[in-house]
Structure 1
């Protein structure tokens, strides 16, 4: 079962939330070929199937945001996003929940290339315009 809650602390059962607003340059992205677009995300555009190891780029979104613990197990983060904007302005509201803030920090550092010098290719087409961390208390704390 997926765990995005704190354990053994005053906030036991709560989660750390990351809320971000992203602004996209879709005109620039649309000028890319389909294979180049797929390399940006590390997934096929048709079906959203993850590219295999021989094709996926080290600066793809999938490669930058999936993180592992020292034993090589993936550290889970619950993520949701929704498109925003209108005819001219395009973007995304992104929300992530995690059992600890360090996990979310590490993902952001990997996107920016702060861990290994490899920044995410997607950043050539989008930028974060707002970003904030919140604490989401457990539902039991409201009773």
Structure 2
């Protein structure tokens, strides 16, 4: 017997897709009045991905779309995903994070740059004149999954069922099967970083540079990147996120960076990591990597399911406004008749 569509679980976007050789991170703001254009593009996005990907089936093309809090209210209305909000700013004694006003994220991945390029072109053909581009970064896989600092990135990513449990919302609510994603663009001071010896760099990161082996608890400084990014619950269980960070850069312009992207079933895990990094745990014990890495952007998005994108629920019409009572002198001011719903 074939299950009806109502009995099937919602289809998640390709959040759990494998690491690829190339990626594009496109972040935009939706211009006032262009909400329906953005909504229509999001509904057609799975089809556009299939259109490009079918031309090179071995290329592994995927595209994950995320929607920011303000854009969600304008495009989809209520209810909003429970934990969708603007990314807080984390400010410590020496370093402060950045929050960028952003509405939509498109995370394109493939083993070929041309596939990302083609799909991004189709997306922008639909959105051009209706959005303002906040940031566009083309990332690449660097040797054996290393960042430009020379260390392997993403070693502790969960796999299999553990990845799904860490990343996909499973509260049996209307947003089941979705995910939250945080992005940040960092530039590195490579001159200062390379002035450190290898052992000093390993103390900043918390791992051996060549072998990728984690330092022992005795060797690992409390302000190392690894020490401050391990988050546990009240029972001491480690809480995972899924990273798909990519290096980027333009050596001719002395630009060397890492684009951080982290998926999680709750953004609170990533926010605790950022608080530890910038404020410190305890406060003042900031992440040493920030002495060499400067954040330029930061935003939080919710990643709806494919089902939601292709067939979003209709926003219920606002009830008619109650008429204003007559003025004390018996005349009507007519204010009630001038009220309009704030929704598009």
Q: What range describes the TM-score normalised by the shorter chain of this pair?
A: over 0.9
Q: Greater Rg, structure 1 or structure 2?
A: 2
* Partners of 2:188 and 2:235 in 1: CA distance: 35
* Partners of 1:84 and 1:99 in 2: CA distance: 27
Q: Which residue of 1 aligns with 2:214?
A: 50
Number of residue pairs matched by the alignment: 143
Seen in structure 2, the aligned counterparts of structure 1 residues 138 and 21 have a Cα distance that, compared at 3 Å, is: same
Deviation at 1:10, TM superposition (A): 2.4
Q: Which residue of 1 aligns with 2:289?
A: 122
Deviation at 1:97, TM superposition (A): 0.3
Higher relative contact order (CA 8 A, sep 6+): 1
- Note the alpha carbon deviations across 1:82-133, whole angstroms, 9 max, x for none: 1111111111111100001111111100111354111101000001100111
| SS class of match (2:244) | strand
RMSD across aligned positions (CA): 1.2
Q: Which residue of 1 aligns with 2:170?
A: 7
Aligned mate of 1:38, from 202, 215, 221 = 202
Q: What is the TM-score with the length of structure 2 in the denominator?
A: 0.40
| SS class of match (1:130) | coil
Which sections of structure 2, spanning at least 5 residues, go unmatched? 1-160, 311-344
- Note the alpha carbon deviations across 1:41-91, whole angstroms, 9 max, x for none: 000001111001110111111111110011111001001111111111111
Q: Which residue of 2 aligns with 1:93?
A: 259
- Note the alpha carbon deviations across 1:27-53, whole angstroms, 9 max, x for none: 100000111100010000011110011
Aligned mate of 1:68, from 228, 232, 235 = 232
| SS class of match (2:245) | strand
Q: Which one has a larger percent strand, Structure 1 or Structure 2?
A: 1
| SS class of match (1:91) | strand
* Partners of 2:222 and 2:292 in 1: CA distance: 17
Query: After TM superposition, where is structure 1 displaced by more than 6 Å over at least 4 residues in a row?
Result: none
| SS class of match (1:95) | strand
State yes or no: 1:135 paired with 2:289.
Answer: no
